[in-house]
Structure 1
Amino acid sequence: MTEDPFDTGDLRERVLAAWAASPARFREDANAEEDLVTGGYRDRVLVELAQNAADAAARAGEPGRLLLRLTRDDTGPVLVAANSGTPLDAAGVSALATLRASAKRDAEPTVGRFGVGFAAVLAVSDEPAVVGRAGGVRFSAADTRALVEATGDAGLADEVRRREGHVPVLRLPFPASAAVPAGYDTVVVLPLRDGVAADLVARQLAELDDALLLALPALGSVRVEVDGEPPRDLSDVESRWRVLRREGVLAPELLVDRPVEERARTGWQVAWAVPREPGAEPFPSVPPVLHAPTPCEEPLPWPALLVATVPLEPSRRHVAPGPLTDAVLGEAAAAYAELLAELAENGYPAWRYVPTGLPAGAVDGTLRAALDRVLPGTKLLTAVEDGAPLAPRDAVTIAGAAGADETLTRVLAPRLAGLVPASRPARVVLRQVGVRELELSDVVDALPADPDPGRWRELYAALDPLAVDPLVREALGSLPVPLAGGEIARGARGLVLAAGTDEVSAALARLGARVVHPEAAHPLLERLGAVPAGPRALLELDVVRTAVEASADDEDEPFDPLEPRLPLADAVLTLVQGAVSAGELTPGELPWLADLALTDSEGEPAPAGALARPGSRAARWFDPDEIGLVAAEVEGRWGADVLAAVGVLDGPALVRAADVPVEPDAPVEAGSPADLLEGWDDWCEYVLDRVRAAGTQGGHPDVGPVSVPELLAVRDLDAVAPDALPEVVAAVAAEPATRAALVGRCRAVAAGVAVDVLPYTAWWLRDRFSSPDGGGVVAAEGATDGLAELLPPAPAWLAALDRPAQSALGVVTGLSDVDAGVASTVFDRLADPARYVPLPLLLRLLRRFAELADAGLRWPAPPPRVRGLDPRPDIAGTQVVDADEAVVLESPMYLQRPDVGCGLPAPADSAGALAELFDLPLVGELVPGVVSSSGVKQPVPPGVTHLLPGGPATWCEHDALVVDGHEVDWWVSDSVVHAATLGGLARGLCWVSGAWALRGVVEEALVDPATANAALLDEAFG
């Protein structure tokens, strides 16, 4: 028989007596127990067993140990729970058998209310037993039912019947005995009701993890043993979890509305736990709920576990609202802020542990509100600059993607106090805790002027990946940029990105160029509007041209050995040297460089274009009063190529320019062709005359602005010494670069017009050196076609040049050389009345002019005088008359009319073009050509028709042919040939037939028809 050290029989008798006296009491006890089992404790068997074990350990003042063993005996599956600590005593037995009357009434920091939570075992067992070393008790639904039936009380029997046999199990204790496992003080033995109960226990055992030990710190370890599986030990929980615990005393007024027994517990406790491994999920197998201290049903989806002594409702599933709950949750929030600060100090990303989003319930909402009040002053962030903890109210972030870029924030940190990174996930948290967010543009505006260009480049490299966004580029509009001179510019737009040496940087700084410091140069600056410049582009900066203009006035400041001042000329020459070395600059391409003041051989400043290299050809060629010598030390330092690029003369020097406006008398700009080329305005007038003439011919009389797309000219020809001219011209013609300026094509263009004109060099040399009288066209020695008599002879030195060069300089050898370039000069000489021009030369030249007119030659203005045929019949010569006294003879029949005046004979198909060239009328437009005499129609002899196939078949015979009152030998009127002589008939028939060359043969056939066949045979060989 089992001993009964706790006098359970007395307890049973008293409970049974109470039930018999009041069946309603039986019903109340049954309902209360059922509420606990099916309500608040329905799935908490392991938690409640662990909680009781923790309380026993706490009362014993030692770390508790709990064994949970799922095994099987003869009756079925059994759950054994053994724990260390204060064992079961009489008060505990009384509490187990008394619903809602815990033995834990003192102020000890226990967790549960022994005797209430134990009801959870009824969810899986009808025969629970609790045994300690002093004895034990068991409870049994079957035994309780039997004792109730044994009372014979009708009222109790009726209640049992109404409840279908269900009775309150934990009201009647029975003595029990069991072996307590070694090392433990109390054991709970739960024979499991069925397989469903066994599965529930097995599942809960499998789900046990560190959360249980964190919620019940009095438990030092838990051992789980399941038949067929390896044992599992949970212990040393704080080696895996960072735990912060806080406790204190509650103000008395907070307990006023709490139950009487609960008021004795005046202390509060909270504990927060997070994994020690940063980024680990806190409790993947435990629902995110509040632990009070074991799990309840208040959702708390935080990245940490909270254990807090908040008051619970009787079901122990929900928090009891009120000031006590709010106070404990406030302490929990303050403790959580401490934990976050501790995490930050230890290198954790503490912001990840700040809850965001909408609260999941009332407890969550209250806790978040309390946390939000303390987080702005909590050092939960880490400064990028030095890793020091930082409170949100002292921190700043950068808005947008810039704030999330780790490289950028690292680079900006030394320039922006309190900067913390703001990744996309962190941004919501940082705003929530009160971190000030700066726009990137505001950050840029606030950046200090750091003198170290290397640090700026590091910043640009960090910003570059973000600058693909137009909004980011806009925000960087005032980004500081260090310049080569040491200044800091605000904004990259318009700055120059130049790759070069330190010497180039020093030169640019001396010139005042806004050039990015080479150590700071980065592609980002180009995206922001800086202009990349190679060696040539650097030379074309406005500051360089300004420096060239100011170089003559450049005076050295007092010498400072610590910071010597670079002369302007040396600064410009440094850039020129870079462009020449890069193959980007040849002499004459930048004509304005010729104004750069250099030191001459006498130690005085002089424009580079007015200097020659000592010992060079230029030193021999040019008048020393016009062209000096550059100082030997200047030449020694910079070399021939650099000096040639700035215009110092070595030989023939070029001016190159593009899209040059042809504007006589326009303002002269330094370095322009008008500034460098003598006689520029006259050449422009010549070009304009040619373009306007072509425009008028082409139907564009108002051609508008005229320009030369590509100008290439030899400069300083006016400074050549007269005796050096042959050598200079020979050099110009021989060297490929300068030869193009002499014999190459030069085109002037305007609206709808493009005309080839004489290149400036050829025009200038023609007009001033080639011709002794300045006419510009000369005859070569042995010139044919009578040109030697008409034109002055070419100087002897021109004979050494090749034919294209001679032609460019106006040297002609025959009529084929009389082209558009020399035609006007030849005509001027032809129209000179002081010159003798024989009739053969005039006829040859008129035919050449007619050919050129057919090819499009036009002169700007009609000539005032012309040379034509002397109209006097007895003089076969030429004469010069005013243009209004001359006509163009488009047919030989007009030679019979001395009344028409001075005539210029021309082929019929070219007569109109010649008339337009000289602005003269055609004689046919002036002479009526009316045949007033009577004639007889006659057939053309057969032999003649064979000589003139396609010619007229008839003609009109006159005894005396009178036209406009003048007697003539022949005439053609309306394609009808009129003739008074056989010679006249031959001319008329041949002119109408277009066979003027056969007029003699036809005349012979008319005189003697027998000769017609012989003439035909002759023509067969023609």
Structure 2
Amino acid sequence: MRFREDANAEEDLALGGYLDRVVIELAQNAADAAARAGVPGRVHFSFHEGTLVVSNTGTPLSAEGVESLATLRASAKRDDADASVGRFGVGFSAVLAVTDEPVILSRTGGVRFSRADSAAAVAEAGVGSPGLVDEVRRRDGQVPVLRLPFEADGEPPEGYDTAVILPLRDEAAAELVRRLLGEADDALLLALPGLERIEIDLDGAVRVLADAESRWYVRRAGGSFDENDRERLLADRPTEERWRPHWSVLWALPRDPLGEVPSVVHAPTPTDEPLSLPALLLATFPLDPSRRHVAAGPLTDRLVHEAATAYAELLRIRAEEDANVLPLVPVGLAAGGLDRALREAILAALPTTPLVRSVEDGSLLRPGDGVAIDGSDDAFNSVMAPLVPGLIASPRQDRTALDALGVRRLELADLVDQLGSVAETQSPEWWREIYGALSEMVTDALLRESLGTLPVPLADGRLVRGVRGLLLPGHELAADVLAVFGEYGVRVVHPDAVHGTLERLGALSTTPRALLEDSAVRVAVEHSGEADDPEVIANAVLTVVAADASQAEGLWWLSDLVLRDADGELVPANALVIPGSPAASVLDDEEVAPISTEIVDRFGIPALEAIGVLNSLGIVAASDVALDDLPEALADLDGIEDWAYDVAPGGSRFGATVGELAAIRDLDWVVDDAWPEVLELIGASPELRRALVETVRVVGPDDRPAGGPSYSAWWIREHLLLPDGEPLAGRADPDADPVLAAYLDEAPDWTARLDPEIRTAIGLVREVGDLEADGVAQILTRMADPAREITESALLRLWNHLGQLTVYAPDPPTEIRVLTGESARPTTAEQRDESVGGGASTAIVAAGEAVVADAPMWLQRTDLGGFVVARGVVADGLGDLLDLPMAQEVAEGKIDAPGTAADVPAIVRELVPRTPELWWEHEELTVDGVEVSWWVSEDGEPHAATFDGLAKALAWASGRWDQRHVILAILSDPPRASELLVDAAFDRGTDSTE
């Protein structure tokens, strides 16, 4: 059983906990030997041709050492625990991962171990022990290697006291050794303080590890547990560990910022416990039997606490050396259970450790006593330090660490509020320094919001909160002008406090435009008539405007500024005119007054026009006008709400908008006899002309656009009356169609001097499409006037125009002028051939006695009353306009007798394509009991009782009414067919081959 136990234990160690520890364990044994001898430890690893030789200085191999090697888990170093790091005799088993024949040579002798020799010895011993033989067989010949030592000859290399010689088992073992030697680094020296130098000769390439602490910042801590602690902390540890009551902790930080740090805990050799901290940790943590993991228990908990304390002390020391230790604060997720415990203990220790540096005096503060300003930078912190005790820097990359340390965070908005408590005692220059310190921070949109209530000193001595809308003094405006506006509440920043940061936070450069747009200036202007000295504010405003009149564009409320008129009275600018100007000659002098010539001479006409004093007619404009909520700029326009109702879709202003609107103001102040001059004045000015002739684009709530008259055109059409008291709108344009003009009133002669667009805009009618509803009603009434003569040709032309209207009279006419054939009604067939449909005249009939004829055959139906004649959409439009039925709506149009089918002459079909092949001959053709000469049925069948009627029926049925005379000629004189065919070859738009 002991054989089996030793074999299993040795195999577990070689294949488990010590599989890849051969280099570390041999270096550890070398360190222990040097420590016991009290000499500087040196170890030399040499790997050549499949053999690893490890030579070291220190206490040579002793009998107790050999016994320890041959006795698993029983170290010979129990009595010198203070000087040893590992457990000699256990760690040495790591060599079995790579060799079956380890040899140890020392100045005092040598010993070797051999799997083959041990197997032979076991076989010899098994002669009298059948059970041992069976066990070896069951283990496939595998026996413990380190239980039977054999004598070895030889000495270690010169300068060394002991050498371990390891003939490697195979190439896999050789690859493992190469990897482990290549991975050896400073962590090995730091873990083994007894070694001062490690030399590694790997296939001829020599590498030396020495002076590790020159490359690391190191913090060590250690001690011994007292009797009470030993009982409490080591009670669950193995017996021999309880005889080792010493502990140690080492933290190391690379001096090179780019240096790599092992990512596992060392106890003190590497374990499989992950470590997320950017430092190397070596501590005497208790390990589980696998030697891979730290064992849980009170001893580990105590060492976690000691490690956290040592880490905090290391960071304090580094902070005193002026290093930024915040990147070393554990944040984020833990990598494992031990790592989590370490991080939590460290975060409990750091808030009371001086780590963060005061901005004011550079001293180290405990994080719990520190204050960080959100989003601040170095420049701002240096200015704020005297005002914020404990202020520390808080770079963006370190904010998570500061939060983990419990540093109090001061929101920038809260700091801005606190500034108010010291604001009154600070100079404008101090504030400029504050604004300069904020210059980089205002690029962050969130921080910019936090500065919304920043205090700002003004030129008039006041201190206000909030930058947006303040004016920054410049060189464009005189100080005395700014002083005037300051008295009226205009907020101008003190010149000594001005900084570019204020502009980025919403302050405005004091241009004439910015000053005029200031709300305080507007209030002063609108109440200037109530001021103790109105001329002071008037002079200040005009001084600003005179510098650049264009700066006042769109500021319609400037027209409320009161100025002196020629009689010295105070009058709003919008009720003043320039003496001798066109405006003075056309506007009612009871509504406007001439401005003082002294003001004109001082500030100039452009400045006065810019604030609303009239030289010519004035214009007001607005954008994005909601018709149900008209802007103030348009409020003084006469009848503006009535116009809005008229142009709004469906007459409802709700939800309707106009994108751009320009209107001529004061049209209601024009004197009656000045309109010819006013309209010529409008035509001569591009701006006034556009405000009159350009239609507005109205968008309804359904987003559908529609056009409408400009306000100016609408007002003139609604209000301009001629001396006879009748409106100008609706009269005949000088260029109107004579037929149309005959039914309209004449316009005054002076309208001929206006350009056509102006005439159309003010309501003169040049064509039927210019008519409005009342004008259409007037035309229809006058057409039905018996006293007026109208030819058939003129009537047909009017019908063609009227049928295309989209504007209808308020009520349909009760009497209508129509075409009628009563006066030339034929009585015989011969007469019908010559006359039907061609002898119509005009007559006036009641609306109920007329129909719309949209086909020529209906004109034969004199039984239907009078005819309004048109085709297609025009016929439909006339029906709607006059409220008349179509002829086919009052008569069935049914042919009474079938007639006799006959072939249509081939020459007709050749000359007029699409002519039907058959027609129906009638001795007497009647439709609905009324005799007619021809007819075309609903099915397109031509019927006729005469040659003339047949020609018309065939032309209508083929859709070529214009060819009826040609068809009649062929039917009447067949020999002419050849001549007509030749002529048809030259008809425009006709293909003679069809």
Report the TM-score range of the alignment, normalised by the length of the smaller protein.
Answer: 0.5 to 0.7
**Equivalence for 1:188:** 164
**Equivalence for 1:1001:** none
Change (3 A) 1:172 1:718: closer
Asked whether 1:174 is paired with 2:138, we answer no
Kindly state the Cα deviation for residue 602 of structure 1 after the two structures are TM-superposed: 9.2
Asked whether 1:274 is paired with 2:274, we answer no
Per-residue CA deviation, residues 726-770 of structure 1 (Å, 9 max, x unaligned), is 999799589536985999799999999978999799899998xx9
Q: Name the SS of the counterpart of 1:231 in structure 2.
A: strand
CA distance in 2, matches of 1:502, 1:321: 79
Counterpart code for 2:685: P
Change (3 A) 1:753 1:108: closer
Q: Name the SS of the counterpart of 2:51 in structure 1.
A: strand
Structure 2 counterpart of 1:645, from 610, 613, 620 = 610
Percent identity of the aligned residues?
36
**Equivalence for 1:79:** 52
CA distance in 2, matches of 1:853, 1:45: 110
Does the aligned pair in 1 maintain the 2:356–2:392 contact within 8 Å? no
Matches within 5 A, 1:276-675: 276-278=255-257, 280-283=259-262, 288-313=263-288, 316-341=291-316, 346-348=322-324, 350-351=326-327, 354=330, 356-358=332-334, 360-361=336-337, 363-378=338-353, 393=368, 420-421=394-395, 458-463=440-445, 476=449, 479-480=452-453, 503=477, 512=489, 519-520=500-501, 544-555=521-532, 568-569=537-538, 572-573=541-542, 576=545, 580-581=549-550, 585=553, 592-598=557-563, 606-609=571-574, 627=593, 629-630=595-596, 632=598, 635-636=601-602, 638-648=603-613, 651-656=615-620, 673=636
Does the aligned pair in 1 maintain the 2:367–2:406 contact within 8 Å? yes
**Equivalence for 1:224:** 200
Asked whether 1:255 is paired with 2:230, we answer yes
**Equivalence for 2:30:** 53
- TM-score, reference length from structure 2: 0.57
| Structure 2: runs of 5+ lacking an equivalent | 424-430, 701-705, 729-747, 766-770, 803-807, 818-824, 842-862, 867-994
Kindly state the Cα deviation for residue 314 of structure 1 after the two structures are TM-superposed: 5.6
Structure 2 counterpart of 1:712, from 638, 654, 664 = 664
Change (3 A) 1:180 1:232: same
Change (3 A) 1:756 1:30: closer
Q: Name the SS of the counterpart of 2:27 in structure 1.
A: helix
Does the aligned pair in 2 maintain the 1:461–1:522 contact within 8 Å? no
Per-residue CA deviation, residues 662-721 of structure 1 (Å, 9 max, x unaligned), is x9xxx99999646xxxxx69x999x99xx99x99xxx9999xx9999753256897899x
Counterpart code for 1:461: T
Change (3 A) 1:568 1:84: farther
Per-residue CA deviation, residues 986-1015 of structure 1 (Å, 9 max, x unaligned), is xxxxxxxxxxxxxxxxxxxxxxxxxxxxxx
CA distance in 1, matches of 2:826, 2:54: 157
Counterpart code for 1:608: A
Matches within 5 A, 1:712-861: 712-713=664-665, 732=681, 736=685, 740=689, 804=753, 855-856=775-776
CA distance in 2, matches of 1:25, 1:949: 140
Kindly state the Cα deviation for residue 522 of structure 1 after the two structures are TM-superposed: 7.2
Counterpart code for 1:231: V
Per-residue CA deviation, residues 890-948 of structure 1 (Å, 9 max, x unaligned), is 787xxxxxxxxxxx7676999999xx99x9x99999xxxxxxxxxxx9999x99x9999
Asked whether 1:121 is paired with 2:82, we answer no
Structure 2 counterpart of 1:210, from 186, 190, 201 = 186
Kindly state the Cα deviation for residue 820 of structure 1 after the two structures are TM-superposed: 7.9
Q: Name the SS of the counterpart of 1:221 in structure 2.
A: strand
Q: Name the SS of the counterpart of 1:200 in structure 2.
A: helix
The number of residues matched between the two structures is 764
Q: Name the SS of the counterpart of 2:256 in structure 1.
A: coil
Does the aligned pair in 2 maintain the 1:181–1:187 contact within 8 Å? no
Change (3 A) 1:607 1:805: same
| Structure 1: runs of 5+ lacking an equivalent | 1-23, 468-475, 558-565, 675-679, 778-797, 811-816, 823-850, 860-886, 893-903, 926-936, 954-972, 977-1022
Does the aligned pair in 2 maintain the 1:351–1:380 contact within 8 Å? no
Does the aligned pair in 2 maintain the 1:107–1:265 contact within 8 Å? yes
Change (3 A) 1:574 1:441: same
Kindly state the Cα deviation for residue 281 of structure 1 after the two structures are TM-superposed: 3.8
CA distance in 2, matches of 1:177, 1:240: 39
Counterpart code for 1:190: L
CA distance in 1, matches of 2:76, 2:305: 29
CA distance in 2, matches of 1:568, 1:501: 20
Q: Name the SS of the counterpart of 1:67 in structure 2.
A: strand
Q: Name the SS of the counterpart of 1:106 in structure 2.
A: helix
Cα RMSD between the aligned structures?
A: 7.1
**Equivalence for 1:15:** none
Kindly state the Cα deviation for residue 230 of structure 1 after the two structures are TM-superposed: 1.4
Does the aligned pair in 2 maintain the 1:444–1:478 contact within 8 Å? yes
Kindly state the Cα deviation for residue 483 of structure 1 after the two structures are TM-superposed: 8.1
Kindly state the Cα deviation for residue 551 of structure 1 after the two structures are TM-superposed: 1.5
Does the aligned pair in 1 maintain the 2:412–2:450 contact within 8 Å? no
Per-residue CA deviation, residues 585-619 of structure 1 (Å, 9 max, x unaligned), is 3xxx7664333134678988554346666898989
Per-residue CA deviation, residues 760-799 of structure 1 (Å, 9 max, x unaligned), is 99899998xx97x99999xxxxxxxxxxxxxxxxxxxx99
CA distance in 2, matches of 1:518, 1:418: 25
Does the aligned pair in 1 maintain the 2:253–2:280 contact within 8 Å? yes
CA distance in 2, matches of 1:176, 1:461: 80
Matches within 5 A, 1:104-115: 104-106=78-80, 108-115=82-89
- TM-score, reference length from structure 1: 0.56
CA distance in 1, matches of 2:97, 2:466: 77
Does the aligned pair in 2 maintain the 1:376–1:393 contact within 8 Å? yes
Query: Over alpha carbons, which structure has the higher Rg?
Result: 1
Counterpart code for 2:311: Y
Counterpart code for 2:445: L
CA distance in 2, matches of 1:162, 1:743: 119
Q: Name the SS of the counterpart of 1:108 in structure 2.
A: helix
**Equivalence for 1:898:** none
**Equivalence for 1:242:** 217
Q: Name the SS of the counterpart of 1:246 in structure 2.
A: strand
Counterpart code for 1:269: S
Per-residue CA deviation, residues 400-448 of structure 1 (Å, 9 max, x unaligned), is xx98x9999999998995574566xx88766665567899998998897
CA distance in 2, matches of 1:701, 1:357: 65
Kindly state the Cα deviation for residue 463 of structure 1 after the two structures are TM-superposed: 2.0
Change (3 A) 1:151 1:536: closer
